[in-house]
Amino acid sequence: MSLPGRLTIAACVTALLTAGGWFVRDTSRGPAPVSRHAPSPRSPAPAPVLREHAVAHAAIVPPVTPRSDDVDPPAPRTRYFGAREGDRIALSFDDGPRPASTARVLAILREHDAHATFFMLGEQVQRHPEAAAAVAAAGHELGNHGWSHRSWKLLFPSQLQRELDDTADAIADATGTTPHVVRPPFGRFPESAVAIVHGRGDDLVLWSVDSLDSAGADADTIARTVVDAARPGDIVLLHDREWASVRALPQILAGLRRKGLRVVPVSQLD
């Protein structure tokens, strides 16, 4: 084929490739420049970023003061920690009550003359009302953790209201006490949930120190994480369903005492 014919074919191929979203470059001059701003023609559009409540782990940045992207600044009666002056710190236990592990937590707290806050699941209270009653009888604070541990971000407002109502009723039936502190499962909540909780006359309570017990940490790691991060006013997240937390609890209480901190329920931090 003559040279003019070959050049004509090459020009046609180049035009077709360019029209199809491809490009041709001279490889003898090194790699093509990469744009720092324009996306690749074949790159998918970036996925939308969900604005959700994020709580940092104490093991990463101790002690932490988590903030909500949905509520900035935090709404009144939405608490992550209490007064930083003084010597008070709060231990909170989620996802109970459980007959065996909760009973052991109560025994350890009694031995150390400490009181805590228990955020209970309605379905667990329904299954084990006697365990819930034992928590109340020991003088601990009762909290509402929803019925089934479903994320509030997956619930319609009417569903969330029903979960909180049913859990409060179950706790009241089992203990004679209606809870007025509420914690969302996973620490995540939409902005609309704040109005629902406060409309019930309840306080929304998160935490400032994560023990990492739900991440599978062993007892020594849990105790070290909590004690190293702890300072006055902190609210510590634990779970009375986790036996590692039960085993860590004596170390935690002893370590907090060495730091001059006194364990109280959340409502007594101020």
Question: What pLDDT is attached to residue 252?
Answer: 99
In this prediction the pTM is 0.74
Rounded mean pLDDT, 138-145: 99
Question: What pLDDT is attached to residue 47?
Answer: 32
Check residues 16 and 202 and name the one with the higher pLDDT. Answer: 202
Per the annotation, the verdict on 239 as an active-site residue is yes
Determine the structural domain holding residue 153 and report its residue range: 78-268
Q: Note whether residue 19 is domain-resident.
A: no
Using the structure block, give the residue that is written with the tokens 């979203």: 21
Question: What pLDDT is attached to residue 77?
Answer: 78
pLDDT tens by residue, 43-78: 333 333 322 333 333 332 333 333 233 334 455 678
Check residues 23 and 87 and name the one with the higher pLDDT. Answer: 87
Record the tokens describing residue 105, joined without a space. 């937590």
**CA 52, 58, 59, 61: dihedral to nearest 10 degrees?**
80
Q: Note whether residue 83 is domain-resident.
A: yes
Residues 6+ apart with CB under 8 A from 86: 232, 233
Question: What pLDDT is attached to residue 40?
Answer: 34
Q: Note whether residue 13 is domain-resident.
A: no
**Structural domain count of the chain:** 1
**Choice among 115, 128, 140, 239 that is catalytic:** 239
d(CA 186, CA 54): 9
Rounded mean pLDDT, 29-40: 32
**CATH number of the domain bearing residue 161:** 3.20.20.370
**Choice among 53, 70, 94, 240 that is catalytic:** 94
Question: What pLDDT is attached to residue 270?
Answer: 84
Q: What is the mean pLDDT of the chain?
A: 80
Strand 117-120 to strand 203-205: parallel, antiparallel, or no bridges (unpaired)? unpaired
Burial of 243 from C-beta contacts in 10 A (0-12 / 13-18 / 19+): middle
Q: Note whether residue 53 is domain-resident.
A: no
Rounded mean pLDDT, 208-225: 97
Rounded mean pLDDT, 109-128: 98
d(CA 169, CA 178): 7
Question: What pLDDT is attached to residue 191?
Answer: 92
265 near 180, Cβ under 8 Å?
no
Check residues 165 and 46 and name the one with the higher pLDDT. Answer: 165
| Confidence category of residue 151, pLDDT binned at 50, 70, 90 | very high
Q: Note whether residue 31 is domain-resident.
A: no
Question: What pLDDT is attached to residue 75?
Answer: 55
Q: Note whether residue 155 is domain-resident.
A: yes
| Confidence category of residue 1, pLDDT binned at 50, 70, 90 | low
| pLDDT over 90 at 246, yes or no | yes
Q: Note whether residue 173 is domain-resident.
A: yes
Q: Note whether residue 167 is domain-resident.
A: yes
Burial of 81 from C-beta contacts in 10 A (0-12 / 13-18 / 19+): buried
Per the annotation, the verdict on 94 as an active-site residue is yes
